[in-house]
Structure 1
């Protein structure tokens, strides 16, 4: 060891290290200048014992730290977590181990890693990467989650962990993403699996929950998304490209779980039989500070987390919020469109029931026909009620629903504020919706009321 940039050296070799041991890794601590860790091997001499050591006094004394690692599982690498003192990782001939107490005790961390020699470990941006001999590279995402554990900690009945800071990533209109959305193979198919898109929320249940588990996302105390283990997240309904959204996978079973929220708010509420072009999915939230709540009955746990802008995107957080608010208005207008169609169909159903109750005479049937002659053109401007599949929209005019959904799709392909053309289009579509709402009010006040008066 040298404390003067190599001008002078002193021998601090581990006294009880067996002869001819190979020093594989020397890991100086990032938290204490007098602390360092050593991994050594003697497997070439048919000695498969693990050799891990720790010094806290610049090498004057050393302590062997292998408790918990099998006696025949030799170690090539030891690394200290730069974000937490005393949190160590060791790579052995058959896997990976972790220690929360500076090596006093170890426990397996291999998870789904195959039995394979680990030659090196690297911690980068909160992830742990392992270099293996014969099975390529493996990455344990968000190993920083271990920072939230303490030595000797016992399992609680319910625990919600703080999600890591999430990058707001937008796949945009890449060919692979578009082909995937259309159910066709894309250029990126033969590739390894990426981490889940969005915020990954870890939680733990010591035993199966006696009732539904509810997860809520809030911003400034306002609820922006809610999921339950008792139901499947809404996807925004079927559409031309078959796209969907939601988190999915919220479990109430015992064990450790992760829930991936795709950063989207609730989708537009669409009719079950609606066929339209575009997407009804809710927009991605902008960068900012959020809170996640996990609830079982009256027990509620919460954790803060942050969403940050993709560093490759040349826009401001404020511009992304402008985009979000624009898409939110378009989503709400799509929901309003569907609600108006629901009003039309409800009015038509009530009229048909009234005609049936009144005996179905000629005057009643004529009044019903006149009512429908007014309702169907209004409905067709809102949705294409004749469409039963996406191909039907080729032969029949699309309604305001398709125009809104396509606007949402195009306006969300990239990251940035809406263009003036998009703002103008949304304003025109909003005027069209309001005009149809006024027409429905007038029809209900006149033609429908007249039919109702004819019923005895």
Structure 2
């Protein structure tokens, strides 16, 4: 038996503990008087593992096999947990490719609850931060790319969601993207709404305390936050727990893929047939809202044209027959547009401000979806009754809007002959 030194990169360090990775035997971790070092080549070389770990003595390193996380016991700075070790374990293999998707950890759909009453704590505030509620997907890039997305498909191969990487997630190195475990939002709608994971914080100013309470944890950072603009939209329902497939798409080509599993919070009682029924109602409302949103945007655009045409007609010589026909058209138009909350009222979440106007059936559908998504429990009989009322009402309103838009196109051509401009888009 022959011993050899494996201290390259550890010069001057006092090693307190050594741990071998449970998935990749070439990966080693040591705790020292000044922090953690890791080796990707079974001790041939070492480098410091920083993240937000302070310069502190590390006495013990334990790896949680189920969650694939590192638990670090420090001397005087309590416990630290490093989630998602996949990029470390698979880094060497990833660098052999221009782009590689790391194994995707199991994601948990969990229900958040704020029961800390932190507004009464003052500065006696000692809590760790929660992990992100989103599903975490990490990948390696050898060089910066122009286009990158993650396509998420269910077991049948149906596309559930495609996430497009902002500029800072397309640069070389290990990058992270997060999925809120929901279907595509209704683009152009209000951002957020009920039923979201939520990013609210209880760290508000406290009267009599000179500074706000500190953020949970130590130098915590939400890896899912991005400062870049995202398309605004009204969130969709959660996908059902199960197995999904994630494809890494670079410059339009699929370069790697991994499977992922979503499991449900065991404390949430919504499961089995009740979950299926809940998902059916939520997804049905979301889809009819998506179609209604498309129509509402067109109606809002055309309404500006109709209003402008009215102003033009006041200063122009228009045949009486055309005026009479336009008045009849305007009556039909007004009856249709109010069902989509057009024009939008000030302060409303959507056109018409939700259910403020009983004629705004689009707002009623949007508001009902919010109420259903607000709780992970079977919808009440009252909500189901509203569902059976507002869905066919919006279906009828969309059919009515399509007919009136066709009338608007005909009226637009007649107005043009009289020198009046009223632009109506073709098709919808």
TM-score range, shorter chain: 0.7 to 0.9
Residue of structure 1 equivalent to 2:203: none
Alpha-carbon offset, residue 299 of structure 1: 3.7
Structure 2 length normalisation: TM-score?
Answer: 0.72
Alpha-carbon offset, residue 75 of structure 1: 1.3
Alpha-carbon offset, residue 353 of structure 1: 8.0
Write the distance in 1 (CA, Å) between the matches of 2:245 and 2:15: 41
Say whether the 8 Å CA contact 1:344–1:375 is kept in structure 2.
Answer: no
Residue of structure 2 equivalent to 1:374: 332
Say whether the 8 Å CA contact 1:309–1:317 is kept in structure 2.
Answer: no
Say whether 1:425 aligns with 2:379.
no
- CA separation of 1:186 and 1:341: change in aligned 2, threshold 3 A: farther
Say whether the 8 Å CA contact 1:278–1:405 is kept in structure 2.
Answer: no
Residue of structure 1 equivalent to 2:135: 199
Write the distance in 2 (CA, Å) between the matches of 1:303 and 1:439: 46
Moved more, 318-327 or 423-432: 318-327
Write the distance in 2 (CA, Å) between the matches of 1:188 and 1:377: 55
Say whether 1:331 aligns with 2:286.
yes
Residue of structure 2 equivalent to 1:361: 318
Write the distance in 2 (CA, Å) between the matches of 1:365 and 1:120: 85
Write the distance in 1 (CA, Å) between the matches of 2:192 and 2:33: 57
Q: Which is higher, the Rg of structure 1 or of structure 2?
A: 1
Deviations 1:159-217 (A, max 9, x none): 1112101111233xx4689x9xxxxx8999965433222111111111111x2112211
Write the distance in 2 (CA, Å) between the matches of 1:322 and 1:250: 40
Residue of structure 2 equivalent to 1:32: none
* Residues paired across the two proteins, number: 367
Say whether the 8 Å CA contact 1:86–1:101 is kept in structure 2.
Answer: yes
Write the distance in 2 (CA, Å) between the matches of 1:310 and 1:65: 47
Q: Secondary structure at the match of 1:115?
A: coil
Residue of structure 2 equivalent to 1:78: 18
Say whether the 8 Å CA contact 1:266–1:282 is kept in structure 2.
Answer: yes
Say whether 1:99 aligns with 2:57.
no
Match of 1:403 among 351, 361, 364: 364
Say whether the 8 Å CA contact 1:337–1:400 is kept in structure 2.
Answer: no
Residue of structure 2 equivalent to 1:161: 102
Moved more, 68-77 or 82-91: 82-91
Q: Secondary structure at the match of 1:407?
A: helix
Q: Secondary structure at the match of 2:390?
A: helix
Match of 1:255 among 173, 177, 182: 173
Write the distance in 2 (CA, Å) between the matches of 1:164 and 1:382: 42
- CA separation of 1:130 and 1:450: change in aligned 2, threshold 3 A: closer
Write the distance in 1 (CA, Å) between the matches of 2:136 and 2:354: 40
Say whether 1:291 aligns with 2:245.
yes
- CA separation of 1:376 and 1:338: change in aligned 2, threshold 3 A: farther
Say whether the 8 Å CA contact 2:63–2:71 is kept in structure 1.
Answer: yes
Alpha-carbon offset, residue 105 of structure 1: 4.3
Alpha-carbon offset, residue 412 of structure 1: 1.9
Write the distance in 2 (CA, Å) between the matches of 1:429 and 1:423: 10
- CA separation of 1:63 and 1:144: change in aligned 2, threshold 3 A: farther
Q: Secondary structure at the match of 2:236?
A: coil
Alpha-carbon offset, residue 85 of structure 1: 4.0
Write the distance in 2 (CA, Å) between the matches of 1:341 and 1:443: 13
Match of 1:227 among 152, 158, 163: 163
Deviations 1:9-63 (A, max 9, x none): xxxxxxxxxxxxxxxxxxxxxxxxxxxxxxxxxxxxxxxxxxxxxxxxxxxx684
Q: Which runs of 5 or more structure 2 residues have no equivalent in the other structure?
A: 196-233, 419-428
Alpha-carbon offset, residue 78 of structure 1: 1.9
Alpha-carbon offset, residue 325 of structure 1: 3.0
Write the distance in 1 (CA, Å) between the matches of 2:59 and 2:411: 84
Match of 1:268 among 169, 186, 203: 186
Residue of structure 1 equivalent to 2:81: 139
Q: Which runs of 5 or more structure 1 residues have no equivalent in the other structure?
A: 1-60, 180-184, 231-248
Q: Secondary structure at the match of 1:302?
A: strand
Write the distance in 2 (CA, Å) between the matches of 1:275 and 1:282: 11
Say whether the 8 Å CA contact 1:205–1:253 is kept in structure 2.
Answer: yes
Alpha-carbon offset, residue 429 of structure 1: 0.8
Q: Secondary structure at the match of 1:285?
A: coil
Q: Secondary structure at the match of 1:194?
A: coil
Alpha-carbon offset, residue 263 of structure 1: 0.9
- CA separation of 1:342 and 1:142: change in aligned 2, threshold 3 A: closer
Alpha-carbon offset, residue 93 of structure 1: 0.5
